[in-house]
Structures are given as C-alpha cells and as structure tokens.
Amino acid sequence: MELDRIEKLLEKYFDANTTLAEEEQLKEYFTKAEVAPQLKQYAPMFTYFSEAKDERFTKQVPLKPSVNYYKWISIAAVAVMVFGIYFGNNYREQQEAQYAYTQTRKALGLLAENFDRGTEKVAYLKEFEQAKQKIYNNN
C-alpha cells in the first residue's frame, strides 16, 4: 500500500504537482534504508536534497572591492572618447578638403576644355576678319 502511494507521489513530483508536505514524505521515504528495489534509482536524488538543505556558505564575502575599478574605467572611457573626437574631426576635415580639391579640379578642367573650344572659334573669326579686310581693301 505504501509503495503504491510513493509511486503516485513520484509521478506527481515529476509532473510538478506535489505539495511541500508530499515532497517531505518522499524525502523521508528515500532517506530510510528500506527502499523498494525498483525505486532505488531515486534515492540519491532525495538524499542529496536532504543533505544540501543543511549546507551553509561560511566564507566571508567582501562587500567593497579593494581597488576602485570604476574610477579607472571611467577615466579610460573619457580618454578614448576625447581621442576619437579629436582624430575623427581631423579625419573628417581632411576628407572635406580632399573632396573640395577634387570638385575644384573637375570644374577647372571643364573650364579649360570650354576655353580651348572658344579659342578655336576665335581663330576662325580672325581668319574671317582678315578675309573681310582683304575684300574691302580691294574694292
């Protein structure tokens, strides 16, 4: 009878439906020397639970760290931020200057190309003017 009750309690325990009193009954049963052979596999688990409940941590836990790491971490973070801002702005200014130089060079190249076309047309006008002068002077 007791074995059937323990098996039912085990099923409830593994389904997470037991109360604290029922879990205590299981611990008492499995900590005894008279455990049924088919249930011996569960005995180490319940004996561990009984023994672990009595364990205490006795080591002293320091509440304050011996070295103030936060102060040094914050100083390092500020240094990295200032370093990044200074060299980031410097790099950005160099990029802007390079872009302005490239755009100016393109504009001057376009101006030179159009100026060359214009001087060719002026050369034709000069020849036209000379031909016109010859015609007027011959009359």
Taking a C-beta distance cutoff of 8 angstroms, is the pair 114, 106 a contact?
Answer: no
Q: Please indicate, yes or no, if residue 101 is contained in any of the structural domains.
A: no
Q: Please indicate, yes or no, if residue 28 is contained in any of the structural domains.
A: yes
pLDDT confidence of residue 59 = 83
Q: Please indicate, yes or no, if residue 34 is contained in any of the structural domains.
A: yes
- DSSP-assigned letters across all residues of 78-89: HHHHHHHHHHHH
pLDDT confidence of residue 1 = 58
The Cα–Cα gap between 114 and 127 comes to 20
As given in the structure block, the two tokens for residue 63 are 């509440």
Which 3 state secondary structure label does DSSP give 114? helix
Taking alpha carbons only, the member of 6, 16, 12 closest to residue 43 is: 6
Taking a C-beta distance cutoff of 8 angstroms, is the pair 9, 22 a contact?
Answer: yes
- Report the number of distinct structural domains present in the chain: 1
pLDDT confidence of residue 27 = 84
pLDDT confidence of residue 139 = 58
Residue ranges in the chain modelled with pLDDT below 50? none
Residue 43's domain comprises 2-54
Which residues lie below 8 Å from residue 25, measured CB to CB, with a gap of 6+?
6, 9
pLDDT confidence of residue 109 = 86
pLDDT confidence of residue 66 = 63
Which residues lie below 8 Å from residue 7, measured CB to CB, with a gap of 6+?
39
pLDDT confidence of residue 4 = 83
